[in-house]
Structure 1
Amino acid sequence: MRDTEETGLDFPREWIEFPDPDDSDTIVRADLTWLLSRWTCIFGQGCPGIDAENPDDGCCVHGAFFTEADDEERVRKAAAKLTPETWQNYRADYADVVVDDTLADDDGVEQPARKTATVDGACVFHNRPGFSGGMGCALHAQALRDGVHPLKYKPEVCWQVPVKRDYSTVERADGSVAEITWIGEFDRRAWGAGGHDFDWWCASAPSAHVGAQPVYRSYEAELIELIGKGAYAKLAELCAERERIGQLAVHPATRKALPLTVAPRPSS
């Protein structure tokens, strides 16, 4: 099993902000420390999982909450493509795939919510080791078979994490108002109080900061989906320039994992 060491949650971070090229009323604020980190998903490659007793289930142990009706509808259509040969927990009736639950809103008030069902302690779409159709998310595998990006089939939370998108509004001194889109790290706190109960979380773990590319490159498709093509192009330009110059605040998990390859400094 891989080392389950994690770095702390509080450390210096670099942020960049820029006007959204496609929306003059929106400002994008992005965490360069996270986007230039070498985090990568290591599911099936030594991931110890968020539940130590079920390491093969990765972060799929609780099922996935849907963000909205369109999110669920997309998953419903994707699930219809699955068969008993590709989905270990095959359900012919979609009603057996989802359950009603509650989820706390920004004020901590529980609100009705929908989520994927769980089977034996993991998401209904999770194929277990030894299944002839392959281990892992059945929706993810189906997307690859169909030649599309997995974000087209999976619940939003599953393809966004561990990138976190937030929104806020700021009123400037001159009375003008700007909408802020925040792009940052989905750390333990982003899950709410329950995030601190995980036995392990990848965003803070050096064992998961071994990607061949920084997050802003490896997560290009997801970031485009989150902020749009124009904003992503500008973000990538700024990230590349910061990468060239050298970072002031390298993610500590990346620094620990790749001490010889990160944070190049400009020559004097």
Structure 2
Amino acid sequence: MPEVDLVFPRAWVEFVNPADETEVLRCDLTWLTSSYTCIFGQGCPGIYADAPDVGCCTLGAHFADDEDEERVAGFVDQLTDGLWQHRPTGELRREDWVELDDEGERKTRTVEVDGQRACVFHNRTDFAAGAGCALHALAFTLELNPLETKPDVCWQLPIRRTFREVERTDGTSYTEVSISEYDRRGWGPGGHDLDWYCTGNTEAHVAVEPLYLTSAPELVALMGQEAYDELHRHCEAHVRSRSVLALHPADPR
């Protein structure tokens, strides 16, 4: 099937964060109850046709902030040659794996191998330990969740968290925290140039369980445990009662 249109009916729920009354969570139930799952290494053609083996790791990962970069740096120091195919020889320097983009923002370096450019931490298909992210592999070695070892953007994608300050008519205000689908529009104008993108394609809607269960650790990290517990309750109710209009159109169900 072709990628679905990005505009379609969605079901949303709003609730006050049980752990912070100044926040209102606004969550996309259509997305969170879909059967989406990452299919890297299981048929993913990559976001660019000329780099089918590197998934969405083609452009490298921008760091959310200094804390994000420093956290990752602690794990980069633990990467061995057996986990990281492109680990530089000799003493590891920050510039070996960090670079600036055209706007001066810090991100992971990209390297070109056999005509395919990707994040420096992306191990290719000919690597003895297998293809994929070296920091992801390190997490399993350390018995950690990969969200602990990878840049924030890597483990959050394709869940999108955004913040908005809302002023009520009575003069009070709150912070709206939206949890939604990071579709190709989330990449900005560059999203138009992607040859393929997963969230709107049926090929990636093949999970046995819905996203709010398969991505529970990521959602807890984004929302907090109490807010996730409330979201879980709403998702369960939505699954029991939703109409056809509230289904994600890429979901084969």
Deviations 1:78-113, CA, capped at 9 Å, x for gaps: 1111111110010322321100124xxxxxxx5x31
Q: 1:114 aligns with which of 106, 120, 125?
A: 106
Deviations 1:125-149, CA, capped at 9 Å, x for gaps: 0000020122100000110111110
Query: Deviation at 1:171?
Result: 1.1
3-state SS, counterpart of residue 147 of structure 1: coil
Letter in 2 for 1:97: W
* Alpha-carbon separation, structure 2, partners of 1:86 and 1:238: 40
* Alpha-carbon separation, structure 2, partners of 1:54 and 1:24: 46
Question: What's the RMSD between the two structures over aligned residues?
Answer: 1.1
* Alpha-carbon separation, structure 2, partners of 1:73 and 1:133: 26
Q: 1:11 aligns with which of 1, 8, 12?
A: 8
* Alpha-carbon separation, structure 2, partners of 1:96 and 1:193: 29
Q: TM-score, normalised by structure 2?
A: 0.94
**1:78 matches 2:62:** no
**1:218 matches 2:210:** no
Residue matched to 2:148:
152
* Alpha-carbon separation, structure 1, partners of 2:143 and 2:94: 24
* Alpha-carbon separation, structure 2, partners of 1:252 and 1:221: 25
Q: 2:204 aligns with which of 208, 212, 220?
A: 208
Deviations 1:51-73, CA, capped at 9 Å, x for gaps: 11111010000100001001111
Query: Deviation at 1:186?
Result: 0.2
Deviations 1:190-210, CA, capped at 9 Å, x for gaps: 110001100000010000000
Report the number of matched residues.
245
Residue matched to 1:253:
250
Q: TM-score, normalised by structure 1?
A: 0.89
Residue matched to 1:40:
37
Residue matched to 1:240:
236
* Alpha-carbon separation, structure 2, partners of 1:86 and 1:46: 23
Deviations 1:3-34, CA, capped at 9 Å, x for gaps: 6x211100001100000000011100000010
Letter in 2 for 1:23: D
Q: 1:134 aligns with which of 119, 130, 133?
A: 130
3-state SS, counterpart of residue 101 of structure 2: strand
Identity fraction in percent: 49
Deviations 1:215-246, CA, capped at 9 Å, x for gaps: 11111000111011110000011101111123
Residue matched to 2:66:
69
* Alpha-carbon separation, structure 2, partners of 1:114 and 1:90: 19
3-state SS, counterpart of residue 230 of structure 2: helix
Higher relative contact order (CA 8 A, sep 6+): 2
Residue matched to 1:96:
96
* Alpha-carbon separation, structure 2, partners of 1:164 and 1:65: 15
Deviations 1:27-55, CA, capped at 9 Å, x for gaps: 00000010011100000000000011111
Unaligned segments of structure 2, at least 5 residues: none
3-state SS, counterpart of residue 203 of structure 1: coil
Letter in 2 for 1:95: E
Unaligned segments of structure 1, at least 5 residues: 103-109, 260-268
Instruction: Please identify runs of 4+ aligned residues in structure 1 that moved more than 4 A.
Output: none
* Alpha-carbon separation, structure 1, partners of 2:240 and 2:142: 37
**Contact (CA 8 Å) 1:86, 1:134: kept in 2 or not?**
no
* Alpha-carbon separation, structure 2, partners of 1:187 and 1:23: 28
* Alpha-carbon separation, structure 2, partners of 1:246 and 1:33: 9
Query: Deviation at 1:158?
Result: 0.5
